[in-house]
Amino acid sequence: MNRTALEALLAEVAAGRVTPVEGLERLRHFPFEDLEFARLDHHRSLRQGQPEVVLAEGKTAEQVAGICERLHAATGGFLCTRASPEQAERLRARFPEVRWDPLGRTAYLPRGDRASPVGDPVLVVTAGTGDLPVAAEAAVTAEAWGANVERLNDVGVAGLHRLLHESEQLSRAGAIVVVAGMEGALPSVVGGLVDVPVIAVPTSVGYGASFGGIAALLGMLNSCAAGVTVVNIDNGFGAGVAAARIVTRVPGGP
Amino acid sequence: MNRTALEALLAEVAAGRVTPVEGLERLRHFPFEDLEFARLDHHRSLRQGQPEVVLAEGKTAEQVAGICERLHAATGGFLCTRASPEQAERLRARFPEVRWDPLGRTAYLPRGDRASPVGDPVLVVTAGTGDLPVAAEAAVTAEAWGANVERLNDVGVAGLHRLLHESEQLSRAGAIVVVAGMEGALPSVVGGLVDVPVIAVPTSVGYGASFGGIAALLGMLNSCAAGVTVVNIDNGFGAGVAAARIVTRVPGGP
Amino acid sequence: MNRTALEALLAEVAAGRVTPVEGLERLRHFPFEDLEFARLDHHRSLRQGQPEVVLAEGKTAEQVAGICERLHAATGGFLCTRASPEQAERLRARFPEVRWDPLGRTAYLPRGDRASPVGDPVLVVTAGTGDLPVAAEAAVTAEAWGANVERLNDVGVAGLHRLLHESEQLSRAGAIVVVAGMEGALPSVVGGLVDVPVIAVPTSVGYGASFGGIAALLGMLNSCAAGVTVVNIDNGFGAGVAAARIVTRVPGGP
Amino acid sequence: MNRTALEALLAEVAAGRVTPVEGLERLRHFPFEDLEFARLDHHRSLRQGQPEVVLAEGKTAEQVAGICERLHAATGGFLCTRASPEQAERLRARFPEVRWDPLGRTAYLPRGDRASPVGDPVLVVTAGTGDLPVAAEAAVTAEAWGANVERLNDVGVAGLHRLLHESEQLSRAGAIVVVAGMEGALPSVVGGLVDVPVIAVPTSVGYGASFGGIAALLGMLNSCAAGVTVVNIDNGFGAGVAAARIVTRVPGGP
Amino acid sequence: MNRTALEALLAEVAAGRVTPVEGLERLRHFPFEDLEFARLDHHRSLRQGQPEVVLAEGKTAEQVAGICERLHAATGGFLCTRASPEQAERLRARFPEVRWDPLGRTAYLPRGDRASPVGDPVLVVTAGTGDLPVAAEAAVTAEAWGANVERLNDVGVAGLHRLLHESEQLSRAGAIVVVAGMEGALPSVVGGLVDVPVIAVPTSVGYGASFGGIAALLGMLNSCAAGVTVVNIDNGFGAGVAAARIVTRVPGGP
Amino acid sequence: MNRTALEALLAEVAAGRVTPVEGLERLRHFPFEDLEFARLDHHRSLRQGQPEVVLAEGKTAEQVAGICERLHAATGGFLCTRASPEQAERLRARFPEVRWDPLGRTAYLPRGDRASPVGDPVLVVTAGTGDLPVAAEAAVTAEAWGANVERLNDVGVAGLHRLLHESEQLSRAGAIVVVAGMEGALPSVVGGLVDVPVIAVPTSVGYGASFGGIAALLGMLNSCAAGVTVVNIDNGFGAGVAAARIVTRVPGGP
Amino acid sequence: MNRTALEALLAEVAAGRVTPVEGLERLRHFPFEDLEFARLDHHRSLRQGQPEVVLAEGKTAEQVAGICERLHAATGGFLCTRASPEQAERLRARFPEVRWDPLGRTAYLPRGDRASPVGDPVLVVTAGTGDLPVAAEAAVTAEAWGANVERLNDVGVAGLHRLLHESEQLSRAGAIVVVAGMEGALPSVVGGLVDVPVIAVPTSVGYGASFGGIAALLGMLNSCAAGVTVVNIDNGFGAGVAAARIVTRVPGGP
Amino acid sequence: MNRTALEALLAEVAAGRVTPVEGLERLRHFPFEDLEFARLDHHRSLRQGQPEVVLAEGKTAEQVAGICERLHAATGGFLCTRASPEQAERLRARFPEVRWDPLGRTAYLPRGDRASPVGDPVLVVTAGTGDLPVAAEAAVTAEAWGANVERLNDVGVAGLHRLLHESEQLSRAGAIVVVAGMEGALPSVVGGLVDVPVIAVPTSVGYGASFGGIAALLGMLNSCAAGVTVVNIDNGFGAGVAAARIVTRVPGGP
């Protein structure tokens, strides 16, 4: 949808020939723009209420910066995931206020019109030190999607007392993201202690028969605790979005 | 926890030496009972607010009836999944009011003290006819967990117009369970149309390189739509619990 | 077939002892030549009407240049796929007019006697930015095989409106190559909208449980849309050849 | 699309407010009908020009008959695949003229308005005796989709002379479906002999490390012959559709 | 070693030309006997101190009885695993005192010269009801190998309180066999609570992505608790032997 | 457990209100401490009698040194596994007395209060030269866990005489760790020669269809010798712990 | 090659226009015949010197008998593998002299013109009782291919003394077929003891992580003994052919 | 076997108390020597008649040189496979006469007492250019094992005429090694043309669904041509040994 068409539409609205409701409807359905290498749907953020996201992996620093430039112009912010230090450096040169997290590899520039976080907290739990990068990605994402976020680290199942010690924090959460590699048993244990939705994220932490996260993934899919759902290996981003949607959901709303 | 201990605890409460809050806390942590072949945790329903569940598959009709008998005595109801017609027949002979669904293979006896369903509906969507049994299991489970449930069938991605035709029903849901076999593409399409949590259930429908549901499972785990989470192949039960927890969740509550 | 044999055959033809039809037939069946590391079948292009192809991957720049030199001498052109920048540099030094596409990694030198492209266009569709290299390989190949080629990029299933917006372009194509990674759902959606052959190319784009393209491959093999066929992961070349054969085919011809 | 809407649309057409071209366009986009267990899209046949198809596997004879009844009423014919003898018996009792092929397990009732077959023949080739059922499904399907069909059986690669003996039949085809189990090598050999599109169908014939057709599937995906595309294991139906679309395609047409 | 050779050896011993120590040594190294379908090594029991074992699965009732007959004649007892009811019936007709356990499918006839059990108990723990058959096989085997055996059932990780409740029994064991299907997380939790060797047995209990026990197997191999070792899926026998060897081992002895 | 709580507890003990036995019990159950990136459980060594372990792989040299510093302060020693030369260099700069084994990649600093090794030796056996690194890790670990350790190298099954030559050393061991890659057959052969527990460690040595150790892992899980248990691929650490627990176990003790 | 062509060829030979050598050459290259369901190449036996083989599995008793009838008429004998008792019964009714082996499931009718067996014996070795059926198939096949065959049963690697006891028989063989399931370690051990070719046959004997023979297959492919080659799981037939070809080969002959 | 024992044995022989035959027998069974990192069995060459082999991969140049030094001293030669250029450089500095083949990565130093090659040739066939390194390893190995070796390159199944053109060379071989990647179809075709043993070597040439050689491996294991046996992926060495053993075998000899 080019500028002309947008102006025309707004003119129609202004003139009363198109009601605001109709105008919003139209905007929801077809606006997008042709770049050389990717179609950006600037209005998705209107439709879904969150920042546009760029998966930096597999793109050049040049491409990442170009896409973020556009997104910033269109929506006022962006969330860039799986960014390398080089890509981040490039973004920070252009957007000094971008929040760069080298552990989770996210570069986040919040939109100016962003609302305050709402709802019960999303609790992001990790089994071991190696799971921290994925957890960081999940936490930043959930925050960008409007949620309050809390953290609980290094409570793997081989030392149960650590986890049981924190039952209060568990019970306070509105949704729990459990990040674990190796045998992926932690979501089952957490799922047996709480009643809120638990989103399990397998990580590629491990070696040998962990097969890059397959063992953890299978463990989580076969969890004996009801109500546990799973995302892709190392997909902290997806878990963060899903958890934020749960805690920020307004009953009766869209 | 045997009768004696329970009486003693209640006596303590009655005498004021243990407050009700303490009493509930104690009850939450260790009550269970030894059967010959399974320990039943009657108080899980107190802790989680739902019926006890029996996975009938792999048990004899005798064993299933025995466990349900106990559960009924302790909590007033039960949900029996993956029941064979023989197992169901046995249960119906004993509990004429049990709700037997031969498609989804569930035998459900609601508890008398069950509250009315609350919250936005859980919408259960299927791609094809073969996915109906798993969807039925999900729907009965979500209902048993206190949710309103709606259905939308046979809207696979090879005929997009059917799905787009029902956008209003999609937008009304508080959580969506998408059940699909073969390539498992439907959750991605649904996830691109809505902002609520989408729970994907791969089914073992298909042949050849569907590998009993692996193709659908992998498709869903790799969904390009943010916010999609996944459960085990054919696990309608797990999806139903997760979806119901989302729509019935009371912010600020446990 | 060495020079002597070729001369003898042509002498036979000239003398009328072998008809031209017989001569062509003989040529179709055994001519080839021994290089040190590969037998080249210069007459395959006669038999199939297209340039000789060199898969550069796994060969040294030296070997690639040596093979292309021979092919150029024998047929007047070549298509070199999966070429590295170093290999391409070497070829460009020798053949300044070679068409080097760094995205698709093809180095193409059309034969002088090449005919104009014919038939309905081959439409090459991509789901996301990461699929562009494979699509570029498919497009160059289809063009080298004599087809008109059109492109439609970044129309993944999580944003259906983009695709539906381009229904006219879809309906114009004689064959469609759909390139997609992750869950590989796009071919099913496209296949449900058109009646022409759809060739699906899974790409290794993705991470975790995408298993280097296996998820997309399985998704495409299990497509619920009839008429979708599949090639190897990242095999843009194979899809380009197959699509071009469809649109350039002359009914009743060989 | 309910009756009322259909009447209204036709009334509009009759009144000249909607042109017939517009009317057809509207009909192409949303007509379908709710059955209890499956939505049937009766207009797909208008859109795609072929019979409606029912995958019988996994359905009861009752369900199959019910769906076919509807399809017959709406379009005048049907193609039922993977039918068991019981399902076929049921269909033949109701539709005595149905064509039942116990080898390929198809029950086909052609529509009355079906045109004569057109174009170069689809040649269906098998490697061994065990591949015949899948080949039969492919042949019936291609015929139902409007193609002329020829057969060439038992020409596996361990006895090359048989295949080479039939080079004339190979050269006559407009598209070739190659059905093979075990190592799945036949499509590569055929693909090296012809210039037309080759569609490879792996079958589950074999034992041990054939893994139910995976060995053949992988062999075909890795074919060294350009222009070979692949469908799912045992998917004769899909191959038949794809091949028929190639030979019946009218250049310049939709 | 045929009868003649045995007699000759014993004569040598009797005559003082071979000492008893030498005689035992010789007997340990080559005695065995040819049956029609299996070589039985009657002296393995001398060498290893336990009954001969017959894996009944895949043998006819006839064959099982024949082998047990021989073993009984040679050693005075046997342990028959994976026996069907038919095979057991046959054995009981011949050996009325055999101990048939239909759950674990073992038929055990202790040797008359068997010593009393020794050492700390082997504790066999199960996660769920479905794991009981494998646990029964492990328990009978450990007992036959000379160990004291205790049991702890239905203490899966989704209900941690059950397990923690039994910490005293855990601390009393000399070796622990943990039997679990689905995600196989229980050995990690148990391994974090005790210091004795833990032997994990994955079971084929589960469905979908449990892949017949692979998920549990991988979970156990990747256990984050040190000191956990694993046996084959459903291999209760192997776990029982290994555990018994640990608790009955006499330091300084062979 | 913070300092205040610890002081309070000790005061209670000093005052006689808590017996030492009770004090130890309490200490066993919840003490741990929050670092920035990992929770350390300093009392696990009390509970299990061995050094704290750090898996260096995937951590920076900085992180490794930081954790070891803490562990040393709390317990007087540490065992660091899978350390790179850089990580080791850093540790040696700080702890000159650390024992660095570049083959097994372990950096071990024994605690001052460590007891002398006890019990029958743990024998670590390798099949080939490539298995030595994993064997070294197992040997150092078993030693750190209090065991006497012996070694037997390069006795693969293709040269049986080497192994049979060492039967005396085999018979002297209290537990045997067998390390082997490729087909992983050695544990079966060793298991057939001895009566003590055999712990098999598959290694990633091999190529092609060894699949990074999967072939060896499967071979060991399917061992026809009773009493063989298995750990993860390349998991010398786990095997060393398990073997040491067996030989150092005191019957009747915890 | 129909009768007419055959007569013509023979006439040419009789007339001296085609030498017998040429006649044989022609016959070797294209004779075959069309049945309804399979092309039989009656002259393959001329070309390869052995009986025609029918794989009975997956065929009806009717089909098997029909094919054998033809083969008998053309060559005087046949070898039918993987025959069910029903299929065998049918064959025996027609050919009373057929040799039916219910263990190996072969029905063998030697040709009348068969020569006496030649060369060093093929030794077929099995690891356990469960491997006997596959070994029987290998033995009958090798015999039908003209070899002397010897057997050595039940010498699995967990009881090495049995195998070493038979070193003389091993050293006498010209080729050794080793049949083993479970971990598949026997070929490595045998391969280390002899210098003749060893052909390993994995069997589907085992359970759990044997995965229907995959564990044995991988073990054999990764054998550390040089000179071991492998055939498909349970493929006794293929091993028998390969071994017979080795021992019956005449140096300098075709 | 240390020096003392060897002297004693020879003294026994010299004194006539041990015959030479007995002496050789004894020497065949236990001689080996302890190096620091590997036991070398110098007498294997006596037992098997070929050079000692070193797998260089995974060893340092230092280790490789050390082992070769020993082997040279003991036997007069060696064959070093999978050597890197660095390792080769080191060997050539020490043994200038070593034969270094950079393509096949072999460094071969023949023993002085090596006999001339004998028997029908081993023919090593490749499908494509990428298969040449593995073929080179096979050829050098077969030569080192005493065979005459011939080569036939680049005759893949997509260009059948090339292969059929060389039928004479095929018929001359005593054993054929067929090296192929991708779909691995070439051994089936070759196996259908000849009667001698065919050894198939899958290579890791390919991409995508070739899975590093698995596709080719499965294709070869499922070959429809009888008498084809298979070795590990890229295992040219193993194929060379097996083929040489076949052609150099002397009937009636050991």
Residues in chain C within 8 Å Cβ distance of D228: 231, 238, 242
Determine whether F114 is exposed, middle or buried from the number of CB atoms within 10 Å of its CB (0-12, 13-18, 19+): middle
| Greater model confidence, F250 or E221 | E221
Output the 3-class SS for chain F: CCHHHHHHHHHHHHCCCCCHHHHHHHHHHCCCEECCCCEECCCHHHHHCCCCEEECCCCCHHHHHHHHHHHHHHHCCEEEECCCHHHHHHHHHHCCCCEEECCCCEEEECCCCCCCCEEEEEEEEECCHHHHHHHHHHHHHHHHCCEEEEEECCCCHHHHHHHHCCHHHHHHCCEEEEEECCCCCHHHHHHCCCCCCEEEEECCCCCHHHHHHHHHHHHHHCCCCCCEEECCCCCHHHHHHHHHHHHHCCCCCC
Query: Does residue E79 have a pLDDT over 70?
Result: yes
Q: Best residue in B25, B37, B40, B44 to probe E by mutation, most E CBs within 10 Å?
A: B37
Query: Nearest CA to F200 among F211, F209, F181, F208?
Result: F181
Q: C-alpha distances in angstroms, C92 versus C80, C97, E253?
A: 12, 7, 77
Is the alpha carbon torsion for G147, G152, G156, G160 positive or negative?
A: negative
What is the mean pLDDT of the segment spanning G156-182? 88
pLDDT tens digits, one per residue of C115-144: 788 789 999 999 988 899 999 999 999 999
Query: Does A132 touch chain E if contact means CB atoms closer than 8 Å?
Result: no
Contact C157, C184 (CB under 8 A): no
Residues in chain E within 8 Å Cβ distance of G159: 32, 41, 44
The shortest C-alpha distance from B98 to chain D (Å) reads 24
pLDDT tens digits, one per residue of F71-111: 898 888 999 999 999 999 999 999 999 999 999 999 999 98
Lowest mean pLDDT among A243-252, C86-95, C97-106: A243-252
Query: Do chains B and H meet with 3 or more Cβ pairs nearer than 8 Å?
Result: no
pLDDT < 70 regions, chain A: 1-16, 18-49, 253-254
The distance in angstroms from the start CA to the end CA of chain G is: 24
Tell if the CB–CB gap between G192 and F225 is shorter than 8 Å.
Answer: no
Tell if the CB–CB gap between B249 and A196 is shorter than 8 Å.
Answer: yes
With b meaning 16 or more CB within 10 Å and e meaning fewer, what string describes G101-126?
beebbbbbbbbeeeeebebbbbbbbb
Residues in chain F within 8 Å Cβ distance of H37: 129, 132, 153-154
pLDDT grade for G42, boundaries at 50, 70 and 90: very low
Query: Do chains G and B meet with 3 or more Cβ pairs nearer than 8 Å?
Result: no
What is the mean pLDDT of the segment spanning G4-33? 54
Q: In this predicted structure, what is the pLDDT of residue E6?
A: 46
Question: Looking at this protein, which amino acid is placed at residue C41?
Answer: D
What is the mean pLDDT of the segment spanning E24-50? 44
Tell if the CB–CB gap between G29 and D162 is shorter than 8 Å.
Answer: no
pLDDT 10s digit of each residue in chain F, 254 long? 334 454 565 556 666 676 655 554 454 443 344 443 444 444 444 444 578 899 998 888 998 999 999 889 888 899 999 999 999 999 999 999 999 999 999 999 998 877 788 789 999 999 988 899 999 999 999 999 999 999 999 898 887 777 887 888 898 899 999 999 998 999 999 998 888 999 999 999 888 888 999 999 999 999 988 889 999 999 999 999 999 999 998 877 54
Q: In this predicted structure, what is the pLDDT of residue E40?
A: 42
Q: In this predicted structure, what is the pLDDT of residue B26?
A: 54
Residues in contact with D192: Cβ distance below 8 Å, sequence separation at least 6, in sequence order: D225, H157, H158, H159, H160
Closest CB from D129, D161, D205 relative to G38: D129
Query: Does F210 touch chain G if contact means CB atoms closer than 8 Å?
Result: yes
pLDDT grade for E118, boundaries at 50, 70 and 90: confident
Most confident of A116-120, G247-251, H103-107: H103-107
Contact F41, F31 (CB under 8 A): yes
Contact F70, F40 (CB under 8 A): yes
List Cβ<8 Å contacts ≥24 apart for B248-251. B248/B118, B248/B119, B248/B145, B248/B146, B248/B147, B249/A174, B249/A196, B249/A197, B249/A246, B249/B119, B251/A119, B251/A120, B251/A174, B251/A247
How much is the CA Rg of chain H, to the nearest whole Å? 20
The shortest C-alpha distance from D231 to chain H (Å) reads 14
DSSP state of C115: P
Query: Nearest CA to H187 among H153, H154, H230?
Result: H230
Contact G56, G82 (CB under 8 A): yes
- DSSP letters, G10-46, are HHHHHTTSS-HHHHHHHHHHS--EE-SS-EE-TTHHH
Reported residue count of chain F is: 254
Query: Does D165 touch chain H if contact means CB atoms closer than 8 Å?
Result: no
The shortest C-alpha distance from B26 to chain E (Å) reads 12
| Greater model confidence, G180 or A113 | G180
pLDDT tens digits, one per residue of H63-88: 899 999 988 988 889 999 999 999 99
Query: Does C123 touch chain D if contact means CB atoms closer than 8 Å?
Result: no
d(CA B62, CA B87): 8
Q: What is the pTM of this model?
A: 0.84
Lowest mean pLDDT among B182-191, C51-60, H181-190: C51-60
The shortest C-alpha distance from D174 to chain B (Å) reads 27
Partners of H147 in the β-ladder: H118
User: What is the average pLDDT score of chain G?
Assistant: 83
Pick the residue from chain G with its C-alpha nearest to H55: G224
The shortest C-alpha distance from H242 to chain G (Å) reads 4
Chains in contact with D, where contact means 3 or more Cβ–Cβ distances below 8 Å, are: B, C, G, H
d(CA D48, CA D55): 18
Query: Does residue C96 have a pLDDT over 90?
Result: yes
d(CA C194, CA C214): 25
Place of tokens 């059932």: E153
Query: Does E164 touch chain A if contact means CB atoms closer than 8 Å?
Result: yes
Query: Does E119 touch chain F if contact means CB atoms closer than 8 Å?
Result: yes
With b meaning 16 or more CB within 10 Å and e meaning fewer, what string describes F188-207?
bbbbbbbbbbbbbbbbbbbb
pLDDT tens digits, one per residue of H142-166: 999 999 999 999 898 887 777 887 8
Q: In this predicted structure, what is the pLDDT of residue H49?
A: 52
ipTM: 0.81
Is the alpha carbon torsion for E232, E237, E241, E246 positive or negative?
A: positive
Q: In this predicted structure, what is the pLDDT of residue E127?
A: 93
Query: Does F104 touch chain E if contact means CB atoms closer than 8 Å?
Result: no
C-alpha torsion H220→H223→H225→H228, nearest 10: 30
Is the alpha carbon torsion for G118, G123, G129, G133 positive or negative?
A: negative
Q: In this predicted structure, what is the pLDDT of residue A205?
A: 87
Tokens standing for D202?
Answer: 């792996």
d(CA A121, CA G78): 76
Q: In this predicted structure, what is the pLDDT of residue H224?
A: 86
User: What is the average pLDDT score of chain F?
Assistant: 83
| Greater model confidence, D123 or H157 | D123
Q: In this predicted structure, what is the pLDDT of residue A24?
A: 47
pLDDT tens digits, one per residue of C5-31: 545 655 566 666 766 556 544 544 433
pLDDT grade for E10, boundaries at 50, 70 and 90: low
DSSP state of H88: H
pLDDT grade for H15, boundaries at 50, 70 and 90: low
What is the mean pLDDT of the segment spanning G55-67? 89
C-alpha torsion F64→F69→F71→F75, nearest 10: 150
pLDDT grade for D135, boundaries at 50, 70 and 90: very high
Partners of C202 in the β-ladder: C180
Q: C-alpha distances in angstroms, H248 versus C79, E82, G239, H115?
A: 45, 48, 20, 11
Tell if the CB–CB gap between B182 and C222 is shorter than 8 Å.
Answer: yes
Closest CB from E130, E153, E209 relative to B232: E209
Where would I find the beta strands (DSSP E) of B156-231?
Answer: 175-180, 198-202, 228-230
Closest CB from H39, H59, H63 relative to F162: H39
d(CA F205, CA A208): 12
Tell if the CB–CB gap between D217 and C217 is shorter than 8 Å.
Answer: no
pLDDT grade for H3, boundaries at 50, 70 and 90: very low
Q: HSE-up of E28 (CA within 13 Å, CB side)?
A: 15
What is the mean pLDDT of the segment spanning B85-98? 96
Query: Does residue H189 have a pLDDT over 60?
Result: yes
Closest CB from D153, D159, D209 relative to G41: D159
Closest CB from E160, E184, E219 relative to A192: E160
Tell if the CB–CB gap between C38 and H128 is shorter than 8 Å.
Answer: yes
Q: In this predicted structure, what is the pLDDT of residue F52?
A: 85
Tell if the CB–CB gap between A153 and F39 is shorter than 8 Å.
Answer: yes
Query: Does G249 touch chain H if contact means CB atoms closer than 8 Å?
Result: yes
Q: In this predicted structure, what is the pLDDT of residue E8?
A: 59
Query: Does C232 touch chain H if contact means CB atoms closer than 8 Å?
Result: yes
Chains in contact with E, where contact means 3 or more Cβ–Cβ distances below 8 Å, are: A, B, F, G
Pick the residue from chain H with its C-alpha nearest to C58: H130
What is the mean pLDDT of the segment spanning G195-217? 93
What is the CB neighbour count within 10 angstroms for residue A37?
14
Lowest mean pLDDT among D150-159, E245-254, F76-85, G80-89: E245-254
pLDDT more than 70, % of chain D: 80
| Greater model confidence, H196 or B39 | H196
Q: In this predicted structure, what is the pLDDT of residue C195?
A: 86
pLDDT grade for E237, boundaries at 50, 70 and 90: very high
Most confident of E176-180, G71-75, H46-50: E176-180
Query: Does residue G24 have a pLDDT over 60?
Result: no
Q: In this predicted structure, what is the pLDDT of residue F251?
A: 78
Q: HSE-up of B124 (CA within 13 Å, CB side)?
A: 28
Query: Does A235 touch chain C if contact means CB atoms closer than 8 Å?
Result: yes
Q: How many CB pairs under 8 A join G and H?
A: 92
Most confident of B39-48, D182-191, E111-120: D182-191
Chains in contact with B, where contact means 3 or more Cβ–Cβ distances below 8 Å, are: A, C, D, E
Query: Does A2 touch chain C if contact means CB atoms closer than 8 Å?
Result: no
Query: Do chains A and G meet with 3 or more Cβ pairs nearer than 8 Å?
Result: no
Q: In this predicted structure, what is the pLDDT of residue D254?
A: 46
C-alpha of B167 from chain center? 25
